[in-house]
Amino acid sequence: MRLFSKILRTGLVTRPLAPRHDEAIHLINAIDARSRSVLGRAVAIREVDAGSCNGCEIEITGLAGPVYDMERFGLHFVASPRHADLLLVTGPVTVNMAVPLRKTWEATPDPKLVVAVGDCARTCGVFRESYAVAGSVDAIIPVDVFVDGCPPEPAEILRGILVALDRWPSRPRPALGFEDAEATRR
Amino acid sequence: MNAGGAEIWLRILLVAFPIGAVAALVVRGALGRAIVAAAAAVGSAAGFALAAMVLGWGEPVRGSFAFPLAPLVFRLDPLGAFFLVVTAIVGFAASLYSFGYGAGSPWRVLRTTGVNLNLLLLGLSLQVMADSPLTFLLVWELMSLAAYFLVLAEPDEPGAVNAATWYFGVTHAGFAALFAMFFLWSGGALTASFVELRAVPLDGALRDAVFLLALVGFGTKAGIIPLHIWLPRAHPVAPSHASALMSGVVLKMGVYGLVRVTFDLLGSGPAWWGMLVLALGTVSALLGVLYALMQHDLKRLLAYHSIENIGIIFMGLGAALLFRTYDLPLLSALALAAALYHTLNHACFKALLFLGAGAVVRATHTRNIEELGGLIRRMPRTAFAFLIGSAAISTLPPLNGFASEWLLFQSLLGGARIPAQSVAVLMPVGVGLLALSSGLAAACFVKAFGITFLAIPRSPHAEAAEEAPRSMQAGMFLLVAACVGLGLGPAFVVPLLGRLIARLPGLEPAIGLHAANGALTGLPDGLGQMSPPAVALGLVAVAVVVAVVLRALAPPFRLRRGATWGCGRLLQTPRMQYTATSFAEPLRRVFAQLYRPTEDLTVEVHPDSEYFVRAIRYESRVHPWVERLLYQPLLAMVRGAGRRVRQMQAGSVHLYLAYMCAALVVLLFVARWLP
Amino acid sequence: MMAGGLFSQLSVLGSSLALVFGLFVLWRRSLGAYVSAFAWQSGVVAGVAAMVAHFSGDHALYLVAALVFGIKAIAIPRLLTVMGRRFGGDRESHPYVNTEASVLSAAVLVLVAYSVTRPVVALSQLPTRGAIPLAMGLTFVSLFVVISRKKALTQIIGFLMLENSIALLAVLCTYGIPLIVEIGVFLDALMGFLVMQVFVYRIHETFESLDVEQLRHLKH
Amino acid sequence: MTSWLVELGQSTAALLMAPALVGLIRWLKARLQNRCGAPIWQPYFELHKLFAKEAVVSTNASWLFRAAPYVVFTSTVAITLVVPLMLVPLPFDGFADLLVVVYLLLLGTFFTALAGLDPGSPFGGMGSSRGMTVAALAEPTVAVAIFALASGAGSTNLGHIASRLIASPMAALTPGHLLAFASLFIVMLAEAGRLPIDNPATHLELTMIHEAMVLEYSGRYLALVEWASAVKLLIFFCLLANLFVPWGIATTVSAPALVLAAAALVIKLGMLCVAVAVLETRVAKLRLFRVPELLSVSFVLALLAVTSSFVLR
């Protein structure tokens, strides 16, 4: 009983994102439109932690929470790459995770996208040249979009997902003011 | 014999089986196998024809033979003919199967199997025709001995001798009970025909004694708990087509005997008869399937399932007895029809499963399902047949297991009409436990089929498996057809059963068990209606519509083969698959109080540090404690008695003469004092 | 007749609910759930008493209903909650009989109750007779709670439910025993409860736990 | 003839409506978590996407793995032909009764479990084992609840049970009926894989039941399996709604009656969705080995339902 009265008192906390991200709000509306046309407005995400410090994971957890609520855009996490459309990879790829990451990518049915989250995923960050690190994510599997930040904010991650959907081969790329992932790839 | 057509079939039956038995002794090689199989098949076919004629006429056929000591009297009435159909279907399939199955077996095994297969079929066919206690008991003994030698056919098989000894002991205990029953009943006149027996007036206590002896005698043959001890031991070690016959038909002779005695000859009894049979049936159904779940020996698993299904049949019989006591003849007929129908269905699918298991064992040389796997690729036809059998025994519509359990449910649901409320209250419990056992059976067969046939082979044996020869496939697919046919055709079978049940005293209204338009509509006193052909048709129609719609509307379908998803694990080996033990683990935990498993865990650690584990050994066993509880004291008693008797064996001739003298005196006294 | 039908249906419904709350105690493990189950059950018993009062016209029963509601549905649960808070959330994690077996035994007990109350039900002409087996079943189930549970507080709940079931039986079988007896029984129950409360304090002080199994150590 | 059309029409409608039910529960749960949530029609987008995607099948898997989704989907959809949705009696009523429905559902579970074992992944095996355990333990409750319904209505056929209750609407409030409803509600949670027995949204393999069995499916196969489980949920909801509270169902084929029936059905399903969503917000998933306890409670409830009002009148 107490639980439900609290729910009622709290009300809806999902908000349009903070004002300083008004480009992100714009983006989110764009995600809605674009993911609908590309993947039928339902994108299943499989998160792969390829060796991250879990900082990015904490931010990713925020995606599903009430504030960012990615479910309203038809994005949701799934338990198996077989069910997924998009791989969300974090961290520098450790030696032990290189093969599993590759296998995950292979297990995902086409069409599929890869979004690498965090600085480590692109540059290996402070773990660079560690004996345990095999390389950045794109050394192992083809990456569509990198999301920078250590860790990136949930809104940034959403932006990355949008760019990825945008990079869908069958669609002409609309001119948006975001950096092209292909160009930033090492 | 009073009808020309029937006589011909009977003669063929009586000639074919002995020819097969003799041929097995004389002719070696493929020709020998062919003759044995052909003789058994011809005999079974003749049996089927004979039974069909009797069922068609609805009138019994009579016959008798001069026999050195006493006349043997035979009479095949529709009830017997129904069981003859059971024998004939399974016998025919098993004979076909035996031709391919025997290839490669040593001559010694082939000889024993061939002789006794034919003798067993002869015994089974005659059993249902026996019309006097003497004939009945003699044929019973023939059947039991043939089955005993079949259990012993491969004596090198581990446990075979032990199993055969158990079988021999228990079946003769049952025989003793039957002998005592007929002796008490007929007052020693064992040659009296069953018709005369029916007229013998019995007072209350004697009737109860006769009933109890019949229950013990036929119960041991049928293998109901707690008289089942021999069954899970004997069935796995026999050659598979013999197991099929034993599980499919020999057990059913216990059912036949009980139906014959309690429904046909003895007449209505007090309520506790039905309660007792119903309770035994429920316990057998539940414990049978629970112990089956814990088995990893494919054939032993099937054997425990036979206990379960016999339990279900006994539930039907018990309910029928109960309804008859409370003067609800239509419900009683419905329950009896369900029991008889399930008898036929169980014979078909259990024989099918045993034949499939035999094909697996023959191809892989192991009965342990933990060593199997992936056979669906190597033995696709066997796998398909086994799948149908599994679905049928798991009571999935529209196969035959469902048809008969549906009838049984219908009759038990009618239990609310029993006027005695303290009895009526128990009916929902029975319904619940019946449903539980069918659900557990489905779980068990997901395990049996899934671990045996699906995924990756777990051993080199399974990797090297090859498809069974054509004759074996023919035997299996015949039974597949029977399972499907019987599942779709209750509207044909039920009126037939109604007609034969209506001949039993007190159940005349059963003639009203009818069906309309292929559906079990308006079963008198039944609560519901359904039509298996319509269900099957509905499924097919929906499947067609789905296929058409998908083809028309769905985008083109692309398929890619990839490695199994194992969370990105580097290596996927057969050892990482779920095993049968782990599959059954949740249920073992749920029913832990019943199983009382013994567990043994040893952890071997590195000598330098206890944190580095070198090996973990976990062992868990489930012993049917019911068996231990009941039979260990009995065995101890028998051994003790044996020891005491041995003391009498001093080896002195004089002592033996003295014993004889004493025995004579005692006998004379007894003769003097008896009227 | 319609009123009679409704009366008997409502009484069966009330007793079924009381029984279901009794089963709750066998199923759940935390004291909070026990207390609320007991409170709801007492509320239902009070409701049944009030309903019987309404249909039979015996207005004394209203008073009984009010007493049941006041004492058992409000006061005692409060006290129990306070006690539970004081002694910490001692969960009934390992009863003598595990949960599935307890629940199924309860089913058996209810069936037994049906067969033992058959003569009473057959004799009775009251519209409430259909509910008598259920109330009797509740008696058995409460006894089973007392027998099979280890924690003192659970046993107290079992005892209180037993008391509830007896009140229910009295109301259903005879439309209530004389008011004075009823009040006496209440006081008795209240006294018993207070005495038990004192014992619970003592047990807790001695063993630092409310596990009644510890009492075995007193022998030595 | 028109009733045949209504029959086929309502089955098609049920088939098409089922994903919305899942969507509605998800939306309600999102609102209870103070989230905006996905729109109710989100499951349709997901199904549409899955049908367009490629399917990856394990190299270990046999034809059974590829056939199972069709078997599961077909058997589940076939059930909608006999479940009373808007109209009783239906022309197909006499062809299948409640027992057939229950065992057709078991047929689906059986093949899902086999498909879980087929690719040889440990998760699939685990899911199959648990799924079959839960299915087997739920079976007695269903049977006894059927006993309660059948002895109350004198038939196991769904249309008959509903018509009987429409004829005497107050009978829906008897204690036996309410207890049977409660027990079947618990079974519905178990069979449809809802909390507290199974979490449909879990990502942790070790806590899965149904999800673990279908972990290997992708593309069209996954779409069929997911759709079938939505239809299964709808079937259970309709059984709960229309066998226990059949108010509003049309008994004659006429437009106003059918519209009323459709509205009543939508309202009843919506209420059940609210109940499930509220429950799923309130409770946590039970440990696997506490599930049998819950199912034994439901069995006892069903038994009480039978004894309290049907056997002893």
B562 and chain A in contact, CB less than 8 A: yes
Nearest to A107 among B558, B562, B570 (CB): B562
B440: Cβ contacts below 8 Å, ≥ 6 apart: B286, B289, B290, B293, B587, D136
Contact: B428, D121; criterion CB under 8 Å: no
pLDDT of residue B64: 65
Is B148 part of any domain?
no
Chain B CA closest to residue C114: B422
Is B422 part of any domain?
yes
- The tokens describing B185, both together, are 């009943």
Full DSSP string of D56-100 = EEETT--HHHHHHHHHHHHHHHHHTTTS-SSBSS-TTGGG--HHH
Total domains, chain A: 1
Contact D54, B555 (CB under 8 A): no
Contact B400, B487 (CB under 8 A): yes
D217 and chain B in contact, CB less than 8 A: no
Sign of the torsion angle spanned by Cα atoms A126, A128, A129, A133: positive
pLDDT of residue C62: 85
Nearest CA-CA distance, residue B422 and chain C, Å: 6
Neighbours of A11 (CB within 10 A): 8
Do B408 and B514 have their domain in common? Answer: yes
Residue A27: which pLDDT band, with cuts at 50, 70 and 90?
low
Q: What is the mean pLDDT of residues B288-298?
A: 91
CA B3 to chain centre: 33
Is the model's pLDDT at A171 over the cut of 50? Answer: no
pLDDT of residue A32: 58
Contact C51, C7 (CB under 8 A): yes
In the structure, do chain A and chain D come into contact, i.e. share 3 or more CB pairs under 8 Å?
Answer: yes
Residue C177: which pLDDT band, with cuts at 50, 70 and 90?
low
Do B426 and B523 have their domain in common? Answer: yes
Is A63 part of any domain?
yes
Nearest CA-CA distance, residue A47 and chain D, Å: 10
Contact: C9, D304; criterion CB under 8 Å: no
Q: d(Cα A147, Cα A166) in Å, to the nearest integer?
A: 14
pLDDT of residue A176: 34
Is the model's pLDDT at A183 over the cut of 50? Answer: no
Nearest CA-CA distance, residue D196 and chain B, Å: 17
Residue A30: which pLDDT band, with cuts at 50, 70 and 90?
low
Contact: B563, A110; criterion CB under 8 Å: no
Is A88 part of any domain?
yes
Contact list in D for residue B546 (CB cut-off 8 A) is 70, 73-74, 77
pLDDT of residue C185: 72
Is A175 part of any domain?
no
Do B422 and B526 have their domain in common? Answer: yes
Contact B388, B277 (CB under 8 A): no
Nearest to C9 among D175, D292, D301 (CB): D175
Is A152 part of any domain?
yes
Q: d(Cα D200, Cα A83) in Å, to the nearest integer?
A: 14
Q: Is the model more confident about D109 or about B602?
A: D109
In the structure, do chain A and chain C come into contact, i.e. share 3 or more CB pairs under 8 Å?
Answer: no
pLDDT of residue D170: 73
Nearest CA-CA distance, residue B620 and chain C, Å: 22
pLDDT of residue D201: 80
Q: Is the model more confident about B199 or about C195?
A: B199
Rounded to the nearest 5°, which phi and psi values hold at C177? Answer: -80, 165
pLDDT of residue B646: 79
B560 and chain A in contact, CB less than 8 A: yes
Residue B306: which pLDDT band, with cuts at 50, 70 and 90?
very high
Nearest to D120 by CA among D37, D35, D57, D202: D57
pLDDT of residue A69: 82
Contact A90, A120 (CB under 8 A): yes
Is the model's pLDDT at C49 over the cut of 80? Answer: yes
Q: Is the model more confident about A91 or about B622?
A: A91
Mean pLDDT of chain B: 88
Q: What angle do CA C4, C10, C16 make, to 5 degrees?
A: 140
D309 and chain C in contact, CB less than 8 A: yes
Sign of the torsion angle spanned by Cα atoms A103, A108, A109, A110: negative
C20 and chain D in contact, CB less than 8 A: yes
B594 and chain D in contact, CB less than 8 A: no
* CA end-to-end distance (rounded Å), chain D: 40
Do B372 and B502 have their domain in common? Answer: yes
- Domain spans in chain C, listed from the N-terminal domain onward: 2-219
Nearest CA-CA distance, residue B439 and chain C, Å: 18
Domain boundary among B519, B547, B575: B547
Nearest to A90 by CA among A58, A56, A114, A59: A56
Chain D CA closest to residue C26: D297
Contact: C114, B421; criterion CB under 8 Å: yes
Contact: B563, A103; criterion CB under 8 Å: yes
Residue C208: which pLDDT band, with cuts at 50, 70 and 90?
low
pLDDT of residue B599: 78
Enclosing domain of residue A157: 18-169
Chain B CA closest to residue A111: B558
- The tokens describing B159, both together, are 């446990």
Q: Are strands B598-605 and B559-562 parallel, antiparallel or unpaired?
A: unpaired
Domain boundary among B521, B547, B573: B547
Is the model's pLDDT at A179 over the cut of 50? Answer: no
- The tokens describing C101, both together, are 């077996």
Q: Which stretches in chain D have pLDDT values below 50?
A: none
B561 and chain A in contact, CB less than 8 A: no
B535 and chain D in contact, CB less than 8 A: yes
* pTM exceeds cut of 0.95: no
Is B124 part of any domain?
no
Is the model's pLDDT at A135 over the cut of 60? Answer: yes
C195 and chain B in contact, CB less than 8 A: no
Contact: D53, A111; criterion CB under 8 Å: yes
C122 and chain B in contact, CB less than 8 A: no
B573 and chain D in contact, CB less than 8 A: no
Is the model's pLDDT at B289 over the cut of 90? Answer: yes
Nearest CA-CA distance, residue B551 and chain A, Å: 20
Q: What is the mean pLDDT of residues B281-295?
A: 92
B641 and chain D in contact, CB less than 8 A: no
Nearest to C114 among B425, B590, B593 (CB): B425
Contact D88, B592 (CB under 8 A): no
Q: d(Cα D63, Cα D69) in Å, to the nearest integer?
A: 11
Enclosing domain of residue B328: 272-341+367-547
pLDDT of residue A165: 77
Residue A172: which pLDDT band, with cuts at 50, 70 and 90?
very low
Cis geometry, peptide bond prior to residue B18 (ω within 30 degrees of 0): no
pLDDT of residue B609: 81
D283 and chain A in contact, CB less than 8 A: no
Q: d(Cα B335, Cα B322) in Å, to the nearest integer?
A: 10
Q: Is the model more confident about B303 or about B619?
A: B303
Is the model's pLDDT at A88 over the cut of 90? Answer: yes
Tell which of B425, B426, B588, B596 to mutate to test the C interface (max C CBs under 10 Å): B425
Nearest to D292 among C12, C16, C100 (CB): C100
Is the model's pLDDT at A182 over the cut of 70? Answer: no
Mean pLDDT of chain C: 79
Neighbours of B613 (CB within 10 A): 11
What is the share, in percent, of chain B residues with pLDDT greater than 90? 45
Do B329 and B436 have their domain in common? Answer: yes
What is the share, in percent, of chain A residues with pLDDT greater than 70? 71
Q: Is the model more confident about B645 or about B300?
A: B300
**How does pLDDT run across D152-163, given as a tens digit for each residue?**
888 888 888 888
Tell which of C16, C99, C116, C129 to mutate to test the D interface (max D CBs under 10 Å): C16
For the domain that residue A130 is a member of, what is the CATH number?
A: 3.40.50.12280
Total domains, chain B: 2
Residue C187: which pLDDT band, with cuts at 50, 70 and 90?
low
Is B373 part of any domain?
yes
Residue A15: which pLDDT band, with cuts at 50, 70 and 90?
low
Q: d(Cα A57, Cα B391) in Å, to the nearest integer?
A: 46
Name residue D35's amino acid.
R
Is A83 part of any domain?
yes
